[in-house]
């Protein structure tokens, strides 16, 4: 008999232990899943922001490289033209010195970033000088002099920065002067003031922690913004080692700690094409991640609060189970209570899953209310959300309340005597109205409630982790009643989950805005880059090209005045100078074509595409066919250049990666939109893997965004690639 | 009778240089100078010059547009375009607009008088440097290019058409009837897939053939 009596109790207590173990395991798994999702999503966002910052740094570095290249090219042209003129002038004569001096002064005046130009003869004596310094100088001990004297083929020499006697920094750019027989005649040197470049660098917004620098390939600092004159001329080892790692790559990126001020930055460097210079752009890592950090802190706090809440609830449940099982030894097992608890845990789990997968807010709140309503009979749940003005409550979710009622209270202001919800929000504390018909808080809404047969309403404010009010959670009943302990547990669960769901959706909206702003900024950068390229291009065409052509014309006039039979020495020298001038003009033309397609400026997109297809096709040894015709009226300059750059990128990709044999470019014109298609017959790739976008495709996407055009890339392995851009026509 | 030339360039020093250069030739006289495309068209209608030398990039009305207007309003004047750009696209547009000469700025000093004489004589003129830069002057990978599909006679006719000769002139030079020259000419265009003379000139430049 004794054994029989104790039998059921043993079975029950072992079942209780199993239930308790299950609760502990479920709670622990839940906590783990929440933390894992939190960590993964934060890490992913951090990566997105860092690569966006890296792209921004790369775009900036490109702009700076172009500008620097343009400045150095202008100095190079000035030095070459001066050296040429010197050779043309008669060797003797009073006027020679004055003419050369005027020329030097004119060059210094025209190029704002030059401080002085001077010329040394073969012994190193200064024979001309734009500043007319008194006294005689012999500079044969300077490194640039030795370099040019010993190496006729050295070309342009860029010296490390030097501080002048007056304490001003400058960078010497020098070139050898040859006698007609090729022997050493001296050196012409231009002193470039780093301050000019520095001012340009300072005008570029790289943020509070960002830095821009120009260095020599061995890491010697030449120009820096923000200014650090004390470091100019120093070789900065960590950066040098970093740039030196890939010395032959044109550009690269990475993260490192600055040797100058110890700030961790996202760095991008670019070698200035054809010049012994490296441009370095660094964006502050801490600064770039500031927005992310704030969001991350809020999310971590919210998640921790939530995890604590779950643990606490589980602890309550366990304790209750424990006391119940103790009770059940004396009485009977309260199966109904255990079912309720399990249902509560199950409800909690489902609600949390919804929050974790990131469903839209209205859907999450709707499900939450339904789950709460399942836990006990006769409850009608409602969630109201506080508007940004902090005064009005808007409909959030109320799947079971009559629609007429929810519509009537939507948008009401909070305050004393504003029903249960308005008053709870106003007082920032729970408000329990046991009977709507008699409670003064419902004075203004009594008839509305009566019309929909609502008799009791308990409302609790919803707060975020910083105790900012987000909204209210309310339970309505058809008969007057007061809350039980179980109701309070349900309400606590509902408000916590609602708080997390609302906070999460607000933060996601904030992050989305941040990403949109970043994208907008990168679009503006592209515009700045093109404007800058166009203006340097115009400068080259209108001033330098024009002046060199006139110079050549005048030399021709001088030469035609000389006797040709017998030929004079001057005639030969002028002819040689003209050949030099013609090759200089050709170089200027190549620089111009690299900067901005000339046919685009003069004729339009179709002409520019034809010209590019022709020269690029010849370079890569492949026929490129262009179909279409010029648009009348022309597209806006921003759309034209964006479409052109996309085509340029797509052609380069097709030739470089796809090993195409034939490429067709089609420009189609409909009344409202234009379509540009670049199709090749190359190897193609798996278009489904475009998520892992390569650099070229990213560039095309950014260009398409800048032109507000739609870009699509169709490809499959072995089927070739089609890049299609569709831009809506803005009538000009 | 001297060749009467009108100069249009927005750069005064360029105009001075060109004027000094052209005036040095005994058979050429510069009758007017203007600094933009609109004035070039107006003065040309007034003075009926033999040749108009125009910068491609001018304010108000550029050289190409001005050439197009001159073709309608002053059909007797031949147009020489002066330009910094050497792409066949630029040359094609200039010829399409009615110009018959195209001179690179850096070569103006040495070539301008020859260019004026050539277009005045009804021939085409193109700076030789442009053909030297032609992208398809060398065949790609030794594959036969479109030029290889032409017979020797067709190549000869192509060269003469590019130089600006009429069918009648070509007929006298190659000892054929004008009708056979016409036949050669249309067969040639069909083989190369072009439909007008400017496109034929563009093709020729791309493949390194140049007038003269």
pLDDT over threshold 90, residue A250: no
A142: Cβ contacts below 8 Å, ≥ 6 apart: A124, A172
- For chain B, say whether A51 makes contact (Cβ under 8 Å): no
Please indicate whether residue A112 or residue A648 has the higher confidence score (pLDDT).
A648
Q: Does A423 touch chain B (CB under 8 A)?
A: no
User: A15 or A426: whose pLDDT is higher?
Assistant: A426
> How close A98 gets to chain B, by Cα (Å)?
22
B81 and B186 in a single domain? The answer is no
Q: Residue A688's pLDDT band (boundaries 50, 70, 90)?
A: low
Q: Residues A77, A79, A82, CA angle at the centre, nearest 5°?
A: 105
Among A207, A261, A190, smallest CA distance to A231 is for: A261
B124: CATH: 3.40.50.2300
DSSP annotation of A703: H
Report the DSSP beta bridge partners of residue A117: A190
Chain segment A90-118, per-residue pLDDT in tens: 777 778 888 888 888 888 888 888 888 88
| Domain co-membership, B154 together with B74 | no
Residue A690 falls in which region: left (phi positive, over 0), alpha (psi -120 to 50) or beta: alpha
Return phi, psi of residue B90, to 5°: -65, -45
> Can you spell out the DSSP letters for A108-164?
HHHSTTEEEEEEEETTSBEEEETT--SS--B-TTSHHHHHHHH-TT--SEEPPPEE-
CB contact under 8 A, A614 and B106: no
**Average of per-residue pLDDT across A644-658:** 86
Pairing of strands A278-284, A126-129: unpaired
**How far apart, in Å, do the first and last CA atoms of chain B sit?**
24
User: Which of A28, A31, A45 is closest to A304 using CA atoms?
Assistant: A31
Task: Indicate the domain borders of chain A.
Answer: 1-69+290-371+483-562+572-596, 196-288, 379-478, 598-728
Residue that is last in its domain, among B70, B101, B132? B132
**Does the pLDDT at position A664 exceed 70?**
yes
* pLDDT, average across residues A254-275: 80
Decide if pLDDT at B134 tops 70.
no
Omega cis (within 30) before A633: yes
Give the pLDDT mean for A302-325: 86
Domain identity same for B167 and B124: no
CATH architecture of the domain with range A598-728:
2-Layer Sandwich (3.30)
Residue B80 domain-assigned? yes
Q: What is the mean pLDDT of residues A417-422?
A: 90
Residue B66 domain flag: yes
Strand locations in B75-172, DSSP E? 78-83, 101-104, 125-126
* Contact call for A614 and B13, based on CB within 8 A: no
pLDDT attached to residue B179: 87
In a domain, B84, yes or no: yes
Q: Does residue A4 register a pLDDT over 50?
A: no
Residues of B in contact with A545 (CB under 8 A): 84, 105
**A 450-489 residues inside an 8 A Cβ radius of B:** none
pLDDT greater at residue A647 or residue A598: A647
Tokens of A567: 């030929």
Name the E strands within chain B: 3-8, 28-34, 51-55, 78-83, 101-104, 125-126
Nearest residue on chain A to B141, alpha-carbon basis? A621
Single residue among B109, B132, B155 that ends a domain in this structure:
B132
Report the C-alpha gap between B113 and B23 in whole angstroms: 9
pLDDT at B208 over 60: yes
pLDDT tens digit string along A19-71? 888 888 988 998 899 899 999 999 999 999 888 888 888 888 888 888 888 88
Kindly state whether A259 is in contact with chain B, defined as any CB-CB distance less than 8 angstroms: no
Q: B212 lies in a domain?
A: no
CATH T-level fold of A196-288:
Beta-Lactamase (3.30.450)
Q: Is the CA virtual torsion A667, A668, A669, A674 positive or negative?
A: negative
Contact A161, A171 (CB under 8 A): yes
- B135 versus A121: the higher-pLDDT residue is A121
Question: What pLDDT shows up at residue A448?
Answer: 92
A598-728: same fold as A196-288? no
Longest pairwise C-alpha distance within chain B: 54
Q: What percent of chain B lies above the pLDDT cut of 70?
A: 91
Q: Which domain holds residue B7?
A: 3-132
Q: How far apart are CA A458 and CA A430, in angstroms?
A: 7
Q: Final residue of a domain: which of B132, B156, B174?
A: B132
Quick check: B87 and A541 CB within 8 A? no
Q: What average pLDDT score do residues A356-383 get?
A: 88
A602 and B108 in contact by Cβ < 8 A?
no
A187 touches chain B (CB under 8 A): no
CA pair distance A169, A173, nearest whole angstrom: 13
Same domain assignment for residues B30 and B95: yes
d(CA A85, CA A79): 10
Whether residue B211 is contained in a domain is answered as no
Nearest 5°: CA angle at A596, between A593 and A598? 65
Cα separation values, A37 from A32, A40, A91, A295, A700, Å = 9, 5, 81, 15, 33
- Per the CB < 8 A criterion, the answer to whether B80 and B51 are in contact is yes
A245 pLDDT above the threshold of 60: no
Sequence-separated contacts (24+) of A504-511 with Cβ below 8 Å? A504/A299, A504/A302, A504/A355, A504/A358, A505/A360, A505/A361, A505/A364, A507/A295, A507/A298, A507/A299, A508/A358, A510/A295, A511/A45, A511/A295
Dihedral, CA of residue A92, residue A96, residue A98 and residue A99, to nearest 10: 180
For residue B133, the model assigns a pLDDT of: 62
Which of the pair, A532 or A167, is modelled with greater confidence? A532
Are the CB atoms for A225 and A209 separated by under 8 Å? Answer: no
Concatenating the DSSP letter of every residue in B178-196 gives HHHHHHHHHHHHHHHT--S
Residue from B84, B146, B193 to probe the interface with A (highest A Cβ count within 10 Å): B84
CATH number of the domain that residue B192 is part of = 1.10.10.10
Query: Do residues A385 and A471 make contact, with C-beta atoms less than 8 angstroms apart?
Result: yes
**A2, pLDDT greater than 60:** no
Give the mean model confidence (pLDDT) for residues B163-187: 84
A11: tokens are 């079975």
Fold of the domain spanning A379-478: Beta-Lactamase (3.30.450)
Question: What pTM, to 2 d.p., does this model score?
Answer: 0.49
Domain shared by B22 and B125, yes or no? yes
As a whole-number percent, the residues of chain B with pLDDT over 90 amount to: 32
pLDDT higher than threshold 70 for residue A372? yes
Residues shown for chain B: 212
Query: Least CB-CB distance to B21: which of A553, A581, A608?
Result: A553
Distance of CA A309 to the CA centre of its chain: 38
Share of chain A above pLDDT 70, in %: 93
**pLDDT tens digits for A318-332?**
888 888 777 766 555
* pLDDT score of B138 more than 70: no
Residues B55 and B152 in one domain: no
The pLDDT of residue B117 is 94
CA distance B23 to B32: 12
Within 10 angstroms of residue A136's Cβ, the number of other Cβ atoms is: 8
Q: Which residue has the higher pLDDT, A355 or B147?
A: A355
Distance between start and end Cα atoms, chain A? 102
Assess whether B33 and B89 both reside in one domain.
yes
Residues of A in contact with B97 (CB under 8 A): none
Packing angle, helices A335-357 and A485-539, rounded to 10? 10
Q: Which among B18, B56, B136 has CB closest to A618?
A: B136
ipTM of predicted complex: 0.76
Tokens of B185: 């000419």
Query: Mean per-residue pLDDT for A192-220?
Result: 83
Give the rounded distance of the alpha carbon of A581 from its chain centre: 43
Contact list in A for residue B87 (CB cut-off 8 A) is 598-599, 611, 614-615
Output the six-digit token pair for A590: 């190549």
Q: In which band, very low, low, confident or very high, does the pLDDT at A9 lie, cut at 50, 70 and 90?
A: very low
Runs of H (alpha helix) within A232-385:
237-244, 285-288, 290-330, 335-357, 361-375
Residue B139 has pLDDT above 50, yes or no: no
Helices (H), A562-604: 569-595, 598-602
Provide the percentage of residues in chain A whose pLDDT is more than 90: 20
How many domains is chain B built from? Answer: 2
Residues B121 and B150 in one domain: no
């Amino acid at each position: 008999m004794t054994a029989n009596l104790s039998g059921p109790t043993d079975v029950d207590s072992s079942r209780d232990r199993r239930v308790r173990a299950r609760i502990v395991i479920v709670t622990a798994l839940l906590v783990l899943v929440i933390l894992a999702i939190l960590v993964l999503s934060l890490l992913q966002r951090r990566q997105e922001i860092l690569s966006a910052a890296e792209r921004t740094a790369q775009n900036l570095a490109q702009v700076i490289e172009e500008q620097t290249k343009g400045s150095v090219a202008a100095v190079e042209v000035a030095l070459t033209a001066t050296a040429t003129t010197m050779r043309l002038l008669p060797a003797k004569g009073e006027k020679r010195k004055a003419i050369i001096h005027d020329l030097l002064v004119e060059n210094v005046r025209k190029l704002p970033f030059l401080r002085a130009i001077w010329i040394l003869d073969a012994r190193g004596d200064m024979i001309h000088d734009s500043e007319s310094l008194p006294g005689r100088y012999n500079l044969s001990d300077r490194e640039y002099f030795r370099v040019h004297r010993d190496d006729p083929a050295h070309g342009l020499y860029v010296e490390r920065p030097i501080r002048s006697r007056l304490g001003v920094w400058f960078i010497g750019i020098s070139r050898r002067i040859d006698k007609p027989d090729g022997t050493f005649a001296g050196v012409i040197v231009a002193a470039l003031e780093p301050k000019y470049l520095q001012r340009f660098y300072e005008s570029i917004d790289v943020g509070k922690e960002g830095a821009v620098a120009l260095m020599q390939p061995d890491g010697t600092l030449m120009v820096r913004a923000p200014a650090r004159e004390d470091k100019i001329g120093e070789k900065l080892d960590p950066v040098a080692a970093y740039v030196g790692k890939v010395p032959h790559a044109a550009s690269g990126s990475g993260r490192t700690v600055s040797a100058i001020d110890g700030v961790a930055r996202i760095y991008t460097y670019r070698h200035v094409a054809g010049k012994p210079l490296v441009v370095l752009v660094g964006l502050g890592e801490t600064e770039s991640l500031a927005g992310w950090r704030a969001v991350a802190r809020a999310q971590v706090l919210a998640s921790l609060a939530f995890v604590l809440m779950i643990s606490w609830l589980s602890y309550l449940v366990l304790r209750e189970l424990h006391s119940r099982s103790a009770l059940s030894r004396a009485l009977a097992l309260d199966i109904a209570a255990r079912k309720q608890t399990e249902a509560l845990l199950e409800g909690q789990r489902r609600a949390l899953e919804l929050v974790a997968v990131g469903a839209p807010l209205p859907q999450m709140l709707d499900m939450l209310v339904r789950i709460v309503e399942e836990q006990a009979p006769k409850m009608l749940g409602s969630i109201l959300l506080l508007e940004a003005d902090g005064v009005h409550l808007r409909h959030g979710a109320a799947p079971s309340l009559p629609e007429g009622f929810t519509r009537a209270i939507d948008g009401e202001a909070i305050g004393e005597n504003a029903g249960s919800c308005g008053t709870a929000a106003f007082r920032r504390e729970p408000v329990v109205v046991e009977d709507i018909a008699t409670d003064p808080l419902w004075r203004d809404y009594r008839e509305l409630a009566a019309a929909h047969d609502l008799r009791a309403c308990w409302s609790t404010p919803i707060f975020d982790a910083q105790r900012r009010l987000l909204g209210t959670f309310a339970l309505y009943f058809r008969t007057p009643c007061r809350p039980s302990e179980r109701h309070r547990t349900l309400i606590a669960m509902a408000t916590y989950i609602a708080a997390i769901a609302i906070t999460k959706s607000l933060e996601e909206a904030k992050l989305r805005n941040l990403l949109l702003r970043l994208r907008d900024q990168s679009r503006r950068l592209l515009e700045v880059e093109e404007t800058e390229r166009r203006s340097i291009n115009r400068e080259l065409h209108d001033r330098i090209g024009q002046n060199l052509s006139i110079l050549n014309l005048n030399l021709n006039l001088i030469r035609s005045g000389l006797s040709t039979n017998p030929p004079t020495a001057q005639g030969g020298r002028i002819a040689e100078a003209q050949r030099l001038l013609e090759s200089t003009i050709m170089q200027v033309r190549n620089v111009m074509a690299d900067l901005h397609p000339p046919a685009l400026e003069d004729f339009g997109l179709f002409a520019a595409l034809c010209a590019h297809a022709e020269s690029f096709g010849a370079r890569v040894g492949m026929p490129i066919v262009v179909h279409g015709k010029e648009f009348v009226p022309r597209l806006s300059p921003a759309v034209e250049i964006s479409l052109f750059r996309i085509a340029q990128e797509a052609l380069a990709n097709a030739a470089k990666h796809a090993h195409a044999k034939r490429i067709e470019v089609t420009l189609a014109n409909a009344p409202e939109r234009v379509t540009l298609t670049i199709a090749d017959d190359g190897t193609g790739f798996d278009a489904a893997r475009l998520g892992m976008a390569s650099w070229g495709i990213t560039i095309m996407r950014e260009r398409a965004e800048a032109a507000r055009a739609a870009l699509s890339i169709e490809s499959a392995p072995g089927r070739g690639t089609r890049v299609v851009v569709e831009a809506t026509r803005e009538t000009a | 009778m001297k060749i009467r030339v009108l100069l249009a360039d927005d750069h005064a020093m360029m105009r001075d240089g060109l004027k000094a250069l052209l005036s040095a030739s005994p058979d050429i006289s510069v009758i007017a100078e203007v600094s933009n495309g609109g004035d070039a068209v107006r003065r040309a209608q007034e003075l009926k010059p033999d040749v108009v030398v125009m910068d491609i990039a001018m304010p108000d009305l550029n050289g190409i547009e001005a050439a197009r207007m001159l073709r309608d309003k002053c059909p007797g004047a031949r147009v020489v375009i002066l330009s910094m750009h050497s792409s066949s696209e630029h040359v094609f547009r200039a010829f399409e607009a009615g110009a018959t000469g195209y001179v690179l700025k850096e070569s103006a000093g040495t070539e301008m008088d020859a260019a004026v004489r050539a277009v005045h004589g009804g021939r085409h003129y193109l700076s030789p440097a442009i053909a030297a830069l032609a992208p398809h002057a060398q065949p790609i990978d030794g594959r036969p290019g479109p030029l290889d599909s032409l017979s020797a006679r067709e190549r000869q006719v192509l060269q003469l058409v590019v130089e600006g000769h009429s069918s009648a002139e070509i007929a006298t030079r190659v000892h054929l009837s004008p009708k056979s020259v016409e036949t050669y000419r249309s067969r040639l265009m069909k083989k190369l897939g072009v439909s007008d003379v400017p496109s034929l000139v563009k093709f020729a430049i791309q493949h390194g053939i140049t007038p003269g």
